[in-house]
Amino acid sequence: MLEKIHDALWLAEGEIVSWYGYPYPTRSVVARLKSGGLWVWSPIELVPDLRAELDRLGPVRHLVSPNKFHHLYLQDWNAGYDGQQNRRSMSSQTALPIDFRARP
């Protein structure tokens, strides 16, 4: 389910959803931070296979919703991970202290 792009970067393709009657593909980007935690951009549907792969990679620590359309599955991720992660919308002006350098 996760396609490895780099040592600490993965792409996950999700389902196609309807957006004003048009088919719209969904995808997420997952990055492993220097801390070992995972940063998830635009979470897709959290299906069991994806959850298992993510759990093998590390703890999900940050969920980012770049806009109001990309939050479709955010509530499921919050429930699935017991709210143990930071959540941010790109409309938020609050900077997160995240180190994006991959750990060796």
Q: Which domains does the chain have, with CATH numbers?
A: 2-89 (3.60.15.10)
Q: By C-alpha distance, which of 21, 40, 104 is closest to 78?
A: 40
In this structure, the number of other CB atoms found within 10 A of the CB of residue 96 comes to 11
The whole-model pTM stands at 0.79
Average pLDDT of every residue of the chain: 82
Contact present, 50 and 2 (Cβ < 8 Å):
yes
Q: By C-alpha distance, which of 84, 32, 91, 103 is closest to 67?
A: 91
Distance CA 53, CA 63 (A): 16
Give the model's confidence band at 68: pLDDT under 50 very low, under 70 low, under 90 confident, else very high.
low
What is the structure's pLDDT at 87?
60
Lowest mean pLDDT among 45-49, 77-81, 93-97: 93-97
Give the model's confidence band at 50: pLDDT under 50 very low, under 70 low, under 90 confident, else very high.
very high
